[in-house]
Structure 1
Amino acid sequence: MALKPVHYRVVGQDDYMLDIRVEASGAYRIDCGDHSSHKPRRGQLTVAEQARLQALIEALGEPCEHPAPEGASGFVAELRVGSAPDVGSYRFWEGALEQAPDLHALVRALEVI
């Protein structure tokens, strides 16, 4: 089975931003920033990395939202999986990841690319 495209975006405090895109081919691009600008990183996932990522994608539950509780601060993220017209969208506050182990596993795998 081919890798489903993934787009993971986090916006946080103090101009922090992380944007990870993985294409169906396994090519990826990572943009991140804070008080300084960083050049985008590009690369190609190995076949094993693609297979691991696809297994984590397949383990995801239904698209859902995990909003931040009132008064909470921190990072809000969105994960989009698939391509049009079949795209699953997950919006969540990073503090809620412990409540969604399937989502947590995929997010952490993306963050270590």
Structure 2
Amino acid sequence: MSLPRVNYRVVGQDDYTLEITLEPTGAYRVDCGDHTSHKPRQGALEEGQTREIAALIDALGAPREHPAPEGATGFITELTLGVPPDTRVYRVWEGELAEEPDVMALIRALEVI
């Protein structure tokens, strides 16, 4: 089973970032940084994880964006599937994430890798 290339990135306050890259082979890399430093983790998905993530990707609706309202603070999520020129991009402010259950389900599955 092959997946598209997945890049999930969250940018928040106080220099917090989380980036998860998932290759079509199931290999992944997790980079998490904030005011302290965290060593990147790498590995490969198990077969069940691959099936779950593939199903969640298949269930995604059209690419869309929910920017933060003016003056709002918090985290911005960017989920990119595929490689140029065939990419789908989802950008969602954390305050709107509950309004995007398909995007939220995939993000939660990626965050437990």
TM-score normalised to the size of structure 1? 0.95
Matches within 5 A, 1:69-80: 69-80=69-80
Q: Is the 8 Å Cα contact of residues 59 and 102 (structure 1) preserved in structure 2?
A: yes
Kept in 2: contact 1:3–1:51 (CA 8 A): no
- Per mean C-alpha deviation after superposition, the further-off stretch among 83-92 and 73-82 is 83-92
Alpha-carbon distance between aligned partners in 2 of 1:52 and 1:83, rounded to the nearest angstrom: 21
- Which residue of structure 1 lines up, in the alignment, with residue 31 of structure 2? 31
Matched, 1:55 2:36: no
After superposition, the C-alpha distances for 1:57-106 in whole angstroms (9 at most, x for unaligned) are 01111000011122211001211011232110111101111101000100
Distance 2:103 2:82 in 1: 15
> What is the alpha-carbon distance in structure 2 between the residues aligned to residue 83 and residue 72 of structure 1?
31
Report what 2:105 is aligned to: 105
Structure 2 residue ranges without an equivalent (≥5): none
Q: Percent identity?
A: 61
Contact 1:11 1:77 (8 Å CA) reproduced: yes
What residue is the counterpart of 2:86 in the other structure? 86
| Cα distance in 1 between the residues matched to 2:54 and 2:84 | 18
Rounded Cα–Cα distance in structure 2 between residues aligned with 1:68 and 1:61: 20
State the alpha-carbon separation in 1 of the partners of residues 5 and 46 from structure 2: 15
How many pairs are equivalent? 113
My pick for the range that moved more, 75-84 or 49-58, is 75-84
Q: Give the gaps of 5 or more residues in structure 1.
A: none
In 2, the alpha carbon distance for the partners of 1:66 and 1:19 equals 19
Amino acid at match of 1:70: E
